[in-house]
Amino acid sequence: MPSKKVKAPEPVEKQSPATPQINPKYAFFKLKIAPSEIHRWGLYAMEDIPRRRKVMEYTGERCNRKETRIRGEADLNYLFTLNSYWTLDGSVGGSGAEYINHCCDPNLYAWVFKGHILYMTMRPIKKGEELTIDYHFDKDVPPVPCSCGAKTCRGTINLLE
């Protein structure tokens, strides 16, 4: 009996990961996401932003402590602790603020206000400048190397004291 020829499957095109997006509902200035020298993607000012201004709200799925531990084991995550019980996962329903990278000499700080995480400017930010924040990882968790390039870089995202 002659063997039946089986047609090889068609090659599947690899899809590139979705381009990160900014939800304009949570951005208070013109911003864009673009590749960053610090890490993967970064968020950039598309206009000058004055000092002490709300730039963007960090949004995401609200996770309890148990779910946060599970999601935190991933190689790449966008978790921001809201309080002692809740964490926001910016990879699910994120505003785009999850792409703000760490820097040891940041231009933003986080303000937790009435259950919202708001990114505020520490100083004036120039058009084209990458927005950054100090992540303040605890000194008691495994160290994460820093690649911010700031003159005051401490070499780690973790706090030293």
Confidence check: pLDDT of 8 > 70: no
Please name every residue paired with 56 in a beta bridge, in sequence order, or none if there are none: 27, 119
pLDDT digit string, tens, across residues 47-82: 999 999 999 999 999 999 999 999 999 988 999 999
Domain boundaries, the chain: 24-133
CATH class, domain 24-133, is mainly beta
Contact 82, 118 (CB under 8 A): no
**Residues 98-154: tens digit of each pLDDT:** 999 999 999 999 999 999 999 999 999 999 999 999 999 999 988 999 999 999 999
Q: Rounded to whole angstroms, how far apart are CA atoms 58 and 54?
A: 11
Helix (H, G, I), strand (E, B) or coil at 26: helix
Nearest to 106 by CA among 140, 48, 154: 154
pTM of the predicted protein model: 0.85
